[in-house]
Amino acid sequence: MAIFQYVPTWTGARVGQGATVFHMDSTEAGPETYDELAEAVAAWYSSIRPGMPNDVTVSFPPSMKRIDEVTGNLLGLVSVASPSPVSGNVDTTWANGSGRIVRWATDGIRKNRTVVGHTYIVPSAGFTDPSGNVSSARIAGDIAAHGVLINRLSTNGTPLVVWSRPVKGKPLANPPVLAQNGLASVVTSGTTLGRPVSLRTRND
């Protein structure tokens, strides 16, 4: 399987510049699906912006990588129409480096464990309840957005995946490290966890 790697960037006076990496299955993708893939990701950010500071902007690149799932080799670049940037809409005090985390569930198994993925939505603003946890309203809004993203990408023929990267074997290490092929596992659901997270950099 070949996969797409699409990387929106975050910018803001207090956050500098960082990125979020998305992977999608490209097996059934044709040129007519490329722009819709980018639009689906942008729409997801539009849906979660009620929990993002208004001085943070997410921008979308005009291209994405096509990568061999098994080896990690770059197969080429694909051009897409860049969606309009998305800025947060919460005008309130927020803690730099603090936010929420999405857990993506899959049916994939690697090293005897179920494959899961994570996406950080950091920084976030106006997203906690009086106890300091992520509010139930924010979690519900996020989960709805995650479901729309998953369904939209699946309908497009470019389902969202969690990519477990290939591992180079190190037989002389102690203990030895076994070589592992890369694995792309299709996402079945996404949920925002209830405990806030912190992030030192925005490259996640």
The Cα 168–Cα 185 span in angstroms is: 20
What pLDDT shows up at residue 203? Answer: 52
In this structure, which amino acid lies at residue 87? S
What pLDDT shows up at residue 201? Answer: 56
Return the number of other C-beta atoms located less than 10 Å from residue 32's C-beta: 9
The Cα 204–Cα 151 span in angstroms is: 23
Q: What is the mean pLDDT of the chain?
A: 92
List, in sequence order, every beta strand (DSSP E) within 20-55: 22-25
Cα angle: 124, vertex 7, 12; to 5 degrees:
40
94 has a pLDDT exceeding 70: yes
8 Å CB contact between 120 and 197:
yes
Which one is predicted more confidently, 82 or 96? 82
pLDDT digits (tens, 9 = 90+) for 170-196: 877 777 676 889 999 999 999 999 999
pLDDT band at residue 28 using 50, 70 and 90 as cut-offs: confident
Q: Say what percent of the chain tops pLDDT 70.
A: 97
List, in sequence order, every beta strand (DSSP E) within 7-112: 9-12, 16-19, 22-25, 56-59, 63-68, 74-79, 86-87, 98-110
Least confident range from 12-16, 49-53, 118-122: namely: 12-16
Q: What is the separation of C-alpha 114 from the centre of its chain, rounded to a whole number of angstroms?
A: 18
The 8 Å CB, 24+ separation contacts for 11-14 are 11/56, 11/57, 11/59, 12/53, 12/55, 12/56, 12/57, 12/123, 13/55, 14/55, 14/96, 14/123
pLDDT digits (tens, 9 = 90+) for 109-168: 998 999 999 999 999 989 999 999 999 999 999 999 999 999 999 999 999 999 999 988
pLDDT band at residue 169 using 50, 70 and 90 as cut-offs: confident
Query: In the structure encoding, which two tokens stand for residue 103, read together?
Result: 């857990």
What pLDDT shows up at residue 61? Answer: 98
Query: In the structure encoding, which two tokens stand for residue 125, read together?
Result: 């603003």
Q: Say what percent of the chain tops pLDDT 90.
A: 74
The Cα 51–Cα 22 span in angstroms is: 20
129-to-133, 143, 191 alpha-carbon distances in Å? 6, 17, 17
**Rg of the chain taking only CA atoms, in angstroms:** 18
Handedness of CA 60, 149, 115, 79 (dihedral sign): negative
Mean pLDDT of 37-47: 98
What pLDDT shows up at residue 74? Answer: 98
Query: In the structure encoding, which two tokens stand for residue 148, read together?
Result: 């729309």
What pLDDT shows up at residue 117? Answer: 98
